Amino acid sequence: MNILYISDSYLDLSVYMSQVHSICNYQILENKHNVKLLALCSHKDIKKTKPNDAKYNLIKIYRFPKMFIPVINKFRAYTVKSSIKNEIIWADVIHCRGHVGSAFAINLMERFNLQKPIIADIRGAIVDELAGKNNLLSHYYSKAAERIEKKVFNKANYLFFVSDNMQKYYKNKYNYNQRSSVFPTIVNEQFFYKSNSLREEYRQKLKIGNRITYIYIGGVDHWQNLDKIILKFDEINKKNPGKYFFIILTNNINWVKNFCLKNKINTENIHIDHVPYNEVGKYLNASDYGIIIRKNNIINYVASPTKVNEYLACGLKIINDIEQIGKNECFLEKEYKPLKKIIIEQNNIYVLLKEL
């Protein structure tokens, strides 16, 4: 079978490697499909080469700014080289990532007057996300994205969602008639897996001993609540000296250190670091609980954060309530879905769409 995968970006290498590269390679290796990846890229990413182990053909197209706006998305589809038509004709199924990628595929179909089964792989609540930015253009951008969204839900042949909550949210919003399936955010299992040997090695390396260990991976944006997490850890650490250990992996090491200094937080039981993407899973294995505290809004309600699934892949229990730090009694109820299982289920859908 010939699969054309359309990715809405090629910007974040860690996301690309785990959620695009992995699935394209796996479809080739497991199901012997022919896979081509059409990636919408920034100028700087156009020049980047594909990963050394990539089995798929990579076609790069410059992504215009603001392609969530219908007229810009359509203009881009109508200005790409006409040779792209051959890639669409070649494909049995077109799997599109995100609102932008899905709308782009639909616009290509309209330009070339072709019909191919399109899977819209919806990744988030883009309309609500844009509306929440609270700037002069947020209302306009949100309404524009909603027009793109309506077109995708009207024209796509099959819908993928990253969570049950997202599936319910969009069903209530559009009452769509297409079939749909839920596939949580994919994790690169080459780097994220449970390992007793790694646990022992990295607990020794970090001199953790038998302390209960929490870990946080991510940035320091206010909506990630790292400030509240650190203060809560400091509180339980003072009450129970030597009982707990905290690993923080972030690109913003200086912010964390300055925050601790400003708030007179003892960092003796905190390891603050930034490590390469392929090293993160080793620190997860050294930990007992992964922490993710997000605001209670629609964006987080429908999301399937990569961080959550990386925690689960390494066997961690997930704390999503600040008051559970130190109690460890109630955890996020999520089940990890292995990549192989996702590939099998998606392949069955590919076969169904091709037959239809």
Q: What is the pLDDT along the chain (356 residues), one digit of tens a residue?
A: 999 999 987 755 667 777 888 889 989 988 899 999 999 988 888 877 788 888 999 999 999 999 999 999 999 999 999 999 999 999 999 999 999 999 999 999 999 999 999 999 999 999 988 888 877 888 999 999 999 999 999 999 999 999 999 999 999 999 999 999 999 988 888 899 999 999 999 999 999 999 999 999 999 988 889 999 999 999 999 999 999 999 999 999 999 999 999 999 999 999 999 999 889 999 999 999 999 998 778 888 788 888 899 999 999 999 999 999 999 999 988 888 898 899 999 999 999 999 88
Residue 59: helix, strand or coil by DSSP? strand
The two structure tokens encoding residue 79? 């200005």
d(CA 95, CA 117): 9
Helix 138-155 and helix 164-174, axial crossing angle in degrees, nearest 10? 90
d(CA 248, CA 244): 13
Q: Residue 317: its pLDDT value, please?
A: 96
The pTM of the full predicted model, rounded to 2 decimals, is 0.89
d(CA 219, CA 207): 25
Q: Residue 11: its pLDDT value, please?
A: 55
Amino acid at 152: V
Give me the domains of the chain, ranges plus CATH numbers. 2-183+338-355 (3.40.50.2000), 196-324 (3.40.50.2000)
The two structure tokens encoding residue 339? 């990549």
Q: Residue 36: its pLDDT value, please?
A: 97
Cα–Cα nearest to 67, from 152, 4, 3, 154: 152
CA distances from 58 to 61, 283, 318 (A): 10, 32, 36
| 171 half-sphere exposure, CB direction, 13 A CA radius | 14
Residue 142: helix, strand or coil by DSSP? helix
List b or e across 170-179, with b for residues whose CB sees 16 or more CB atoms inside 10 angstroms: beeeeeeeee
Q: Residue 68: its pLDDT value, please?
A: 96
Q: Residue 12: its pLDDT value, please?
A: 56
Q: Residue 154: its pLDDT value, please?
A: 96
Contacts of 192 (CB under 8 A, 6+ apart): 280, 281, 284, 310, 313, 314
